[in-house]
């Protein structure tokens, strides 16, 4: 799941300027900025690659990561560029090696991923926290090898394809959204934490005709005073879930490779729990209770109303992938953010908060 991620910091007013550290750019490949807080975006540029020779390929290697990123645009000063989102990255130094479309090497560069707030992970001190929301997910690829499952292509229009993709995500042990950070504020607000149990539907699913596909554009949750625009998010080549941009923590993201809200199946919305300026879009998700409503406005002007069945927190290593991404016989909605105890040693919140809801109007 690609992480165009946003901060989940309980720290108010954290400045990012102090996070910049010296970085190195070698040969004809550059990375800008040379240092980014986890969850930020860097631009990879192969300055000597000729766009006419085809796309450049950037190989990014570092702590627990070996990832290929293909160029997406021609660089203003010449060469080819690509954006890389660093949510979900382990803190440390990464090397970028670029290869031009004609097979020639364009050199290497390095960049560093640092904690938000400037304190190294595990440095001790107060459990003050900021966070980068990273959709927890693992690599797409081999989980269904030999199982006879058809190849899944993103954006497939058929329900079968979408359900198969959901099964892939489930089998890959998607851990939902994790917070990766360390922060520097006093008395940070903590997101509410629901209990850790399996969800139980509190009402029968009504006999409603499923809605046709249509992208969601806005979500409203009156009980916790949420009214947020929705942007589509997907997954990158490494299988990392995207979330809304780091600098726009009031947006929610819709997993566009699944069903849309109102179709048969489980639609998934993700959002940040907090930001440097304070609570973000899904900060109060853990306060929701069964029977409360979520309204999703779609691009076709229809409003799908969902009633909450349950709200649960799960340790990330026990994320309920089948319940979230698996197939369903009714129109369901899953809202996901991060929460629970903040582990200063790892720079992560330990849980994911999941809201389970069923369409009722």
Q: Would you state the pLDDT for residue 156?
A: 27
Residue 262 and residue 169 in contact, taking contact as beta carbons nearer than 8 Å: no
The encoded tokens of residue 53 equal 């020779």
Residue 297 and residue 218 in contact, taking contact as beta carbons nearer than 8 Å: yes
Residues of the chain where predicted confidence (pLDDT) is lower than 50: 1-27, 117-187, 198
CATH superfamily of 132-359: Sortase (2.40.260.10)
pTM (whole model) above 0.85: no
Pairing type for strands 293-298 and 278-279 reads unpaired
Q: Would you state the pLDDT for residue 294?
A: 98
Q: Would you state the pLDDT for residue 188?
A: 55
Q: Would you state the pLDDT for residue 266?
A: 95
Q: Would you state the pLDDT for residue 215?
A: 96
Fold (CATH) for 17-114: Immunoglobulin-like (2.60.40)
Q: How far apart are CA 324 and CA 142, in angstroms?
A: 20
Q: Would you state the pLDDT for residue 226?
A: 97
Q: How far apart are CA 60 and CA 84, in angstroms?
A: 9
Which residues on neighbouring strands pair with residue 288, listed in sequence order?
Answer: none
List the beta strands (DSSP E) in 103-197: 105-114, 132-136, 176-180
Q: How far apart are CA 228 and CA 240, in angstroms?
A: 23
Q: Would you state the pLDDT for residue 88?
A: 72
Q: Would you state the pLDDT for residue 59?
A: 95
Please state the domain extents for the chain.
Answer: 17-114, 132-359
Q: Would you state the pLDDT for residue 319?
A: 84
The encoded tokens of residue 139 equal 């690599």
């Amino acid at each position: 799941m690609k992480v165009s991620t946003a901060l989940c910091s309980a720290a108010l007013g954290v400045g990012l300027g102090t996070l910049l550290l010296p970085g190195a750019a070698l040969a004809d490949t550059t990375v800008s900025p040379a240092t980014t807080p986890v969850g930020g975006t860097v631009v990879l540029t192969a300055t000597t690659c000729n766009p006419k020779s085809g796309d450049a390929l950037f190989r990014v290697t570092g702590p627990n990561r070996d990832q290929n990123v293909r160029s997406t645009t021609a660089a203003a000063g010449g060469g080819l560029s690509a954006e890389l989102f660093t949510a979900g990255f382990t803190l440390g130094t990464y090397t970028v090696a670029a290869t031009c479309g004609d097979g020639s090497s364009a050199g290497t560069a390095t960049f560093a991923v640092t904690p938000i707030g400037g304190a190294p992970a595990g440095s001790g001190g107060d459990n003050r926290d900021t966070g980068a929301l990273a959709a927890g997910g693992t690599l797409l690829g081999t989980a269904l090898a030999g199982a006879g499952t058809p190849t899944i292509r993103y954006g497939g229009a058929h329900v079968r394809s979408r359900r198969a993709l959901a099964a892939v995500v489930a089998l890959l042990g998607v851990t939902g959204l994790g917070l990766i950070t360390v922060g520097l504020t006093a008395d940070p607000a903590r997101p509410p934490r629901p209990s850790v149990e399996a969800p139980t539907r509190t009402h029968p699913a009504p006999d409603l005709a499923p809605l046709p596909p249509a992208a969601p554009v806005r979500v409203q949750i009156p009980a916790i005073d949420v009214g947020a625009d929705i942007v589509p998010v997907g997954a990158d080549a490494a299988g990392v879930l995207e979330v809304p941009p780091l600098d726009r923590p009031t947006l929610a993201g819709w997993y566009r490779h699944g069903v849309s809200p109102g179709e048969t199946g489980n639609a998934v919305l993700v959002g940040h729990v907090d930001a440097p300026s304070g609570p973000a879009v899904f900060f109060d998700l853990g306060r929701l209770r069964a029977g409360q409503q979520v309204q999703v406005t779609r691009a076709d002007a229809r409003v799908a109303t969902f009633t909450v069945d349950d709200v649960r927190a799960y340790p990330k290593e026990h994320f309920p992938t089948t319940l979230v991404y698996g197939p369903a016989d009714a129109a369901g909605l899953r809202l996901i953010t991060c929460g629970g105890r903040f582990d200063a040693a790892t720079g992560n919140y330990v849980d994911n908060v999941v809201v389970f809801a069923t369409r009722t109007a």
